[in-house]
Amino acid sequence: MSRYSFPTPKSSEITPRDVYLNRRHFMGGALAMGAVLATGEVAFAAPSGIEPLKFSAGLAPALTDKPTARELATTYNNYYEFGTSKADPAHNASTLKVRPWTVEIGGAVAKPRTVGIEDLLAMELEERIYRMRCVEAWSMVIPWVGMSFSKIAALVEPTAKAKYVKFTSAARPEEMPGVRSRVLDWPYIEGLRMDEAMHPLTFLTLGMYGETLPNQNGAPVRIVTPWKYGFKNAKSIVRIDFVEEQPQTAWMTAGASEYGFYANVNPDVDHPRWSQKHERLLPSFFASRATEKFNGYGAEVASLYTGMDLAANF
């Protein structure tokens, strides 16, 4: 077992309490929005900077499950830069300054460039409702707003040397209390093979539920690959590099035997400490459903892995 790792998920523990606490935070936040305590401190930061977005309906495989309630999707998060409990990001992430924000895009490209968040928001956006599956065996259904990552690649023109894409998240100890502790090797790094990154389902995400991303969900820009475990989806991205070698990811550094580079959702390959055969579609903590290979997106993505041993390349 690695030094830093996800706790072993058990259906009967942790989550109901987390959500309960989150609900209290949420209600506290709603009541105290803008309110100032006698000490002069703001009790809870009001959700700031969230703006409605213009978008069209995107092409994504249709789902039978309804989107998860926004309140749950924005209060039950993994974002270790803001703490390791599910409640921490919603509670702590208001300190992250998401404007101004730029993303440096470089590496093996003909036209490296720095893109401002306003430039990304001005591009044609679409909504995609995706099933999301965390490695901890819970899942949600989230309406994301953004664009296929391939549009970003087209801006910089990757060269023949580009075999992988490396995503680097912000790591700002001043704004992110979790970065002051060595819970992961900062900055958070993730990566995709070039053909995975260019797959039309791979989504550069700027919003959810029709609005810009809340900080706890990775504002102002993150990546979403719906057929992979959630840890592949780096939040608050500041750098995108097209590279020749497979990037060393933060979770591979934390525990390579537990968190592989590919991280495709796969009921046949258990995590060393728990089964991946079933999952809990939140908020149903107890009802368990069968995990689908590639999280149900096999028709779209299975061909990317033809001839690969997915147990060895987990």
Q: What is the largest CA-CA distance in the chain?
A: 65
The residue sitting closest to ligand MTE, measured at its beta carbon, is 230
Q: CA-CA distances (angstroms) from residue 165 to 181, 209, 220?
A: 27, 27, 19
For residues 195 to 224, the per-residue mask of contacts with ligand MTE, x marking binding by CB under 6 A and - elsewhere, is ----------------------xx------
Residue 91 CB, shortest distance to ligand MTE, in Å, is 13
Give the residue, chosen from 203, 231, 242, 297, that forms a contact with ligand MTE under the rule CB under 6 A. 231
Q: CA-CA distances (angstroms) from residue 20 to 25, 30, 84, 218?
A: 9, 15, 16, 22
- List the one residue out of 185, 282, 181, 169 whose CA is nearest residue 232: 169
The radius of gyration of the chain's CA atoms, rounded to the nearest angstrom, is 19
Beta-carbon contacts of 284 under 8 Å, excluding residues fewer than 6 positions away, are none
Candidates 150-158, 228-236, 256-264, 298-306 — which segment interacts with ligand MTE by CB under 6 A? 228-236
For residues 232 to 271, the per-residue mask of contacts with ligand MTE, x marking binding by CB under 6 A and - elsewhere, is -xxxx-----------------------------------
Candidates 10-18, 78-86, 192-200, 283-291 — which segment interacts with ligand MTE by CB under 6 A? 78-86
Give the residue, chosen from 26, 44, 80, 314, that forms a contact with ligand MTE under the rule CB under 6 A. 80
Give the residue, chosen from 230, 247, 260, 296, that forms a contact with ligand MTE under the rule CB under 6 A. 230
Give the residue, chosen from 15, 22, 68, 77, that forms a contact with ligand MTE under the rule CB under 6 A. 77
Establish if 26 lies at the interface with ligand MTE (CB under 6 A).
Answer: no
Rounded to whole angstroms, the Cα distance separating 44 from 115 reads 32
Residues at the site binding ligand MTE, with contacts judged by CB under 6 A: 77-81, 134, 169, 188, 217-218, 230-231, 233-236
